[in-house]
Amino acid sequence: MTTALPDLWTDWCLVTGVPAGRIDEASISRFVQQVQPSRAVLSTLRRRLAPKGPAAPAWPRDHREDTSSLQRLIRRGAAIIQHPGTHWVFRLRLRRMLFAAVLLAPPSQGGLGLDRSGALEMRPDGMRRLRPRVGVAEDPASCPSCATWSWLDVIGTNSGWSHGSVRALGHRLDEEGTAHRHLQPDPNPDWHLCLGMLPAVDRWGWIDSYRSMHPSSLSAVISAMTLLLDGPEPAPAPVPAAAPMQASPRRQMSHEEEEQILKRADELTARVEAILREFDTGR
């Protein structure tokens, strides 16, 4: 049984002259930018786009059928990136991990579905060709295209600027708001000159400009993805104390319960950081 195409899609196709049956990443990206459809509509289109055979062999096996896993991973990784207590080198590694996730995740989730070799052998010309296929999410904090934009900013800065510029970028947090970063021009187009799209990042934040990480290091990155997907939500960033509010009739979380949740989240973050640090030797 074939699922009917969403009315919003067919109406848009009628107006723009795009054949309704031609569902590809370029058309979907244009549709998202012009119409901003709901997640349900976008998921329906991506299911039609998904290949019939096995896809995304490097993506964590238990999450291949979970259509929200890529966006959930990006959202959780972004939460750690946005935490002011995150070390700047760990923040760079997290941005690389989210970019690797985009390369490896199934196309039905907004990824490119590459295997390990395809991800490690990716070069700028291939990224330019495949980038329009990267998915777009409604929430910028979960958006595969925004995660891609952010990592290309990092390796572009590393290619064309000083290590101090890379360090400053590692310290920088994403601007809060509703605007998608990927709709802006690339701030550092020198990523076109890079020789490896998934380079090693050593303990001091130096990024290898000449080659991608070792396959065993990518396997460690995938393990960190799985840990982040299977674990609890990362600890939220601290917020300024607000004025006391009127008591709610709903059950309030005790201080001990809140501490336990935050402890579990901090332990998860520490384990992800340890995995990325231990195997990030570059060779």
Residue 160's pLDDT is what? Answer: 77
pLDDT tens digits, the chain, 283 residues: what are they? 345 788 888 888 888 888 887 788 788 888 888 888 887 788 788 777 755 545 789 999 889 888 899 999 999 999 999 998 899 999 999 999 999 999 999 998 999 999 999 999 999 999 999 999 999 999 999 999 999 999 999 999 998 778 889 999 899 888 776 689 999 999 888 999 888 899 999 888 899 888 889 999 999 999 999 999 998 888 776 655 443 444 444 445 555 544 555 556 566 677 777 777 766 754 4
Residue 242's pLDDT is what? Answer: 45
Residue 179's pLDDT is what? Answer: 83
Residue 239's pLDDT is what? Answer: 58
Residue 169's pLDDT is what? Answer: 85
Residue 209 near residue 162, CB atoms below 8 Å = no
Residue 265's pLDDT is what? Answer: 57
**CB-facing half-sphere around the CA of 114: CA atoms within 13 A:** 22
Q: Which is nearest to 173 in space by CA: 110, 116, 95?
A: 95
Residue 136's pLDDT is what? Answer: 92
Q: Would you say the pTM of this structure is higher than 0.95? A: no
Residue 20's pLDDT is what? Answer: 80
Residue 19's pLDDT is what? Answer: 83
